[in-house]
Amino acid sequence: MIRALLFKEWLKIRWFWAAALAIHVAIFLRIFFDIRGRIGAEHAEMVWYQTVHLGTLLYSDIRYLPLLTGLVLAAAQFIPEILGRRLRLTLHLPMHRDSMLLICLAAGLSGLLSLCFLSAVSIPLILAKTFPIPVALSSLPTMLPWILAGVLAYLGGVTLLLETTWPRRVLLIFVFSILIALHYSGRGYGWLTPALPWLIALAPLFLAAVFESGRRFRQRGA
């Protein structure tokens, strides 16, 4: 049944995932050509100086990509279920509610994290063509908070869609927006690196929030 559920979730998100993949690839290409253009327009050593000592991020175009991808995948998975009242049926399958939700989340998170993994490989590779290895590697801790923001946006989006009352939905939007905005603090590379363990610790709390909304969804018979 797990495979069937995962397949069902994949069917729901596949076209959105493919579109997100195409956008990711387009942005990687844009970053690649932007860097090439800069190196052509200025002396390479000046671009190095701007990147290493002035903290210019040449890959900031992908900053909000995980966030938007997370929200789109959450919407693609859960809006049809809720509008068509199909989630109620799913939650009545002979499997614990939380396990059922976890499988749905695993499908969505796999889609999101596969694209994030692509970013985590592509951006350092693009940078390594023009910059020394330390610069390429510094992009990983810089991008990690953006990836975490994508995961939280996905989990937060699912929580909001499962929530049944508007006052609580508004409160959750407020709380999630603040916590996700935290991941975009600072400037330059590695600004948030010392806080990464704390940011990572938010993910399990967001996951628990999904289960709380799932419980309320089932109890209210939505």
CB-wise, 7 or 198, nearer to other proteins? 198
Residue among 96, 105, 99 at smallest CA distance from 78: 105
From residue 199, alpha-carbon distances to 55, 203, 206, 216 in Å are 22, 8, 11, 27
Give the single-character DSSP code of 186: S
Least distance from C-beta 17 to other proteins, angstroms?
Answer: 27
Query: What is the size of the binding site for other proteins (CB under 8 A)?
Result: 48
Please answer whether residues 190 and 141 qualify as being in contact, where contact means their C-beta atoms are separated by less than 8 angstroms. yes
The yes or no reply on residue 190 touching other proteins (CB under 8 A) is yes
- The residue among 155, 15, 180 whose CA lies nearest residue 163 is 155
CB contact set of 38 (below 8 Å; sequence gap of 6+): 47, 58
Q: Segment near other proteins (CB under 8 A), from 5-13, 29-37, 50-58, 60-68?
A: 50-58
Q: Is residue 44 close enough to count as binding other proteins by CB under 8 A?
A: yes
Tell me if 134 contacts other proteins by CB under 8 A: yes
Q: Is residue 162 near other proteins by the rule CB under 8 A?
A: no
In the list 55, 57, 88, 222, the residue contacting other proteins (rule: CB under 8 A) is 55
Token pair belonging to 104: 């749905």
Q: Which two tokens stand for residue 155?
A: 């989990």
- Residue ranges that bind other proteins, judged by CB under 8 A: 43-49, 52-53, 55, 98, 129-132, 134-135, 138, 167-168, 171-172, 174-176, 178-179, 182, 185-186, 188-195, 198, 202, 204-206, 208-209, 211-212, 215
